[in-house]
Chains A and B, each alone.
Chain A
Amino acid sequence: MTLRRRQGRALQIAGVAGVAALALAGCSGGGGGGGDDAEALQVLIGTSGDAETEAVQAAVDAWTEESGVPVEVVVASDLGQELAQGFAGDIPPDLFYMSWDQFQTYAADDYLEPYAAGLDNAGDFYPALADTFSYDGELVCDPKDFSTLGLVINTDLWAAAGLTDADVPTDWDQLASVAQRLTTGDTVGLSMGAEYARVGVFMEQAGGGLLTDDEVTADSPENVEALTYLQGLLSAGSLAWPTDLGAGWGGEAFGNGQAAMVIEGPWISGALENDFPDVQYTVAELPAGPSGQGTFTFSNCWGIPEGADTADDATSLVEFLTSDEQQLAFSDAFGVIPSTETAAATYAETYPESAAFVAGAEYAVSPIAFPGASEVVGEFNTVVPTLATADPQEILATLQGQLEDAYSEVE
């Protein structure tokens, strides 16, 4: 009897201990997701650095003051992955940077609240940007700002090579020749990331592009010409990819003095200021190719998850953040170009050194971004580093097939 009672008690203890341990683990949960204040709007951003984080925080604070709605700014270390996991886990942030390359995929899966078309400022954005963030002909989310690619030139190395302002290249031949002159033992003339988002501008300049009027044209002669031109620079030694120079990206190779020119966007100014404050540089428009000028525009929009309870608050925050005044404040802080035509004009006047980036907006196009394209582009990006020895025709034929497969799924 005593034995039995003791056993009973012992079992209870064991049980209680087990439950308690589980409960301990359980009650410690719930810390994630909404952060400290469950009521706060959560804004997920991918930041280019402290300057951007602080500027967004300041803007959001100003809005909180106005609206009384608390906001928490969360900085993603890998925006695409965290956003995807957030949607997969059914806890997307209330407002987030939606990048141009993922936008169509998200819109096609009905992940995004189409709030933008109904707002007053819907007509103020650059048409190319409005196109990028439209799905089924309707503007889904407000473009946050934008960037174009330009030719960033190290002025010290430029002068050392005996070049003057008059030598700034305006076509492919000139680019090849100055790149060659700038190439010395430790320095290559030109560098850029080995990816579609850089290489693709040469396709545009050649009059090509991956998609023309709803048709995949990856293997067009123009694109072959573009890759062949780059291949020529590579074999001449005047073009090298950053990784071949031991740098993480173009800006690092440029800052280290390993490359005298790089093709990058306005974000390079902040990075250079932080890491390589001594480097003197200027920015020119990209040289024209056989078919004229061409560059890419990259942008994020302010995404709101479809059907979110907080969509109204988030929309009003977006209106605040995309006002000309606020966008110019962002430009001040971290160099992006405002997404509305009026604010961008003011920007070009205020920052003549970045005028080349704004000028590019006139003829810039968006890189392809239909659903499924990102996987194909990712695959293309793994091939670009091998361009020096590969056959451009073959690369593009493969790309053509893969893009056609992906595109057929969209239609």
Chain B
Amino acid sequence: MATRAPATARAPRRGSTRDGESRAGWLFISPALIIVGVFLIAPIVLALWVSFTDWNGRNSPLFNDNVDVIGLDNYAAITTDDRLTRDLFGRAIRNNLFYVLLVVPLQTALALFLAVQVNRRLLKAKGFFRTAFYFPSVTSSIAITGVFLFLFQASGAVNAVLAWLQVDGPNWMADPRGIVHVVIGAFGGGEPGGWDAPGFLGVSAWEWAAGPSVAQLVLIVMAVFTTSGTFMLLFLAGLQSIGAEVGEAALMDGANARQSFFNVTLPMLRPVLFTVLTLGLIGTWQVFDQVYLTRGTPAAATLTSPAYMAYDQAFTENEPGIAAAIAFVLFLIIIAFSLLQRFVLCDRDEPSRPLLRRRGPRTIASADGGVAQGTARLRAGPTERGTGG
């Protein structure tokens, strides 16, 4: 080796550096690449295969004589077959839809409100408030669910507080009634004729219009409680990058303040808003932990989600094919909602700004950094249902 180097030292060295860099580059990313490949991409491919077969969960789904390709049967079982499994899937979609429709706006609005409040220049004890609002975000969903089941039991803390206010609280976790039904019932209304016929995905129009069940409200409150802190931080970063004065001015005098907030601050926060809504949509469509933990409660049928149903089909009904099909349908739903939200929120000025392209090196509000930060934070806290990776 020593003999080769001398004469042409300069050129080869540069070459070797580049070679070395190239080798180093691949070597450096290879552990992450292997993990992503084996535990993210391979599962997707394997699950796609399983979703087209009648594999019953015994032995391997590959190279197995007992496994037949059955085309789209597993997808039909959850969409078009007029059977219980389809109805359960329809109900899981309905439940999850109400969960998303309530949690996402509530957590976003609350987080924004908290961020504006704790960003006020004149506020004392800022640190305390930020800590208080963020703390739930670092706990585990298991612990929080245990706590909430305690708070919301029939004679629990929440009903005790409601009793002070002369309100007779419901037996939360045992109440499967949809809140829209409850409200209609309170005004003496009932089901309009013909609304009980099985509709889309086997769920009747009356059930589609039921709203979240009383029991699900508990999970909704819990989700807002545990995520608003994380999103507050994202908004706070955004507010600080625009400059606190805007927010401060906004607080100072009534009508103008509100106007300036909605006309000036909010538009400037749009990238953060985009991030928060995206993360919220993705996270709420994946609700699993709380559903799993409450599967034994009386109103469990109104709490299910597609993610939980996929688990249930795979592990208790011995239907891995249906489970994989549910996983893919869920995947499509999440993508569809993200695209829809992006379409609605995107300005004409930047019609096709890719989700993750950087805007400027230091813009905290840039969507990509926010997404990464938010994803990591959510994954660390009780909202993220999924496995890392």
Contact = CB atoms under 8 A, between A and B. Distances in A.
A and B: interacting chains: yes
A18 interface: yes
Contact of A375 (B17, B85, B297, B300): B85
A90 B321 CA distance: 17
Interface string B1-33: 110010000000100110010011001101100
A386 interface: yes
B176 A87 contact: no
B23 A11 contact: yes
Interface in A355-384: 375-376, 379, 382
A75 interface: no
A353 interface: no
B260 interface: no
Interface of B: 1-2, 5, 13, 16-17, 20, 23-24, 27-28, 30-31, 56-59, 83-85, 88, 153-155, 171, 173-174, 176, 297-301, 314-318, 320
Contact of B318 (A7, A84, A243, A386): A84
B171 A382 contact: no
Interface footprint category on A: 35 or more
Interface in A1-42: 1, 3-4, 7-8, 10-11, 14-15, 18, 21-22
Contacts of B28: 14
A386 B176 contact: yes
B300 A382 contact: yes
Contacts of A385: 174, 176, 298-299
B27 A382 contact: no
Contacts of B56: 109
B20 A85 contact: no
Given A87-B57, A405-B83, A11 B31 contact: no
A84 B315 contact: yes
Contacts of A80: 316
A278 interface: no
B323 to A, nearest CB: 10
A21 B23 contact: no
A384 B134 CA distance: 41
Contact of B20 (A11, A84, A405): A11
Contact of A109 (B16, B171, B176, B318): B318
B31 A379 contact: no
B24 A7 contact: yes
A88 B315 contact: yes
A100 to B, nearest CB: 16
B298 A376 contact: no
A110 B2 CA distance: 68
A205 interface: no
A310 interface: no
Contact of B30 (A1, A18, A241, A246): A18
Nearest to B23: A11
Nearest to A4: B16
A388 B225 CA distance: 34
Contacts of A4: 13, 16, 20
Given A7-B20, A241-B298, A243-B174, 12 more contacts: A1-B1, A3-B13, A8-B20, A21-B31, A109-B58, A194-B298, A243-B173, A244-B171, A246-B171, A375-B85, A382-B176, A405-B84
B116 to A, nearest CB: 40
Contact of B317 (A3, A87, A241, A375): A375
Interface string A72-116: 000000001100110110100000000000000100011100000
A402 B20 contact: no
A163 interface: no
Contacts of B16: 3-4, 7
Contacts of B299: 382, 385
B171 A243 contact: yes
A111 to B, nearest CB: 7
Nearest to A402: B84
Contacts of A1: 1-2, 5
Contacts of B5: 1
A406 interface: yes
B154 A246 contact: yes
B30 A88 contact: no
Nearest to B13: A3
Contact of A11 (B24, B58, B300): B24
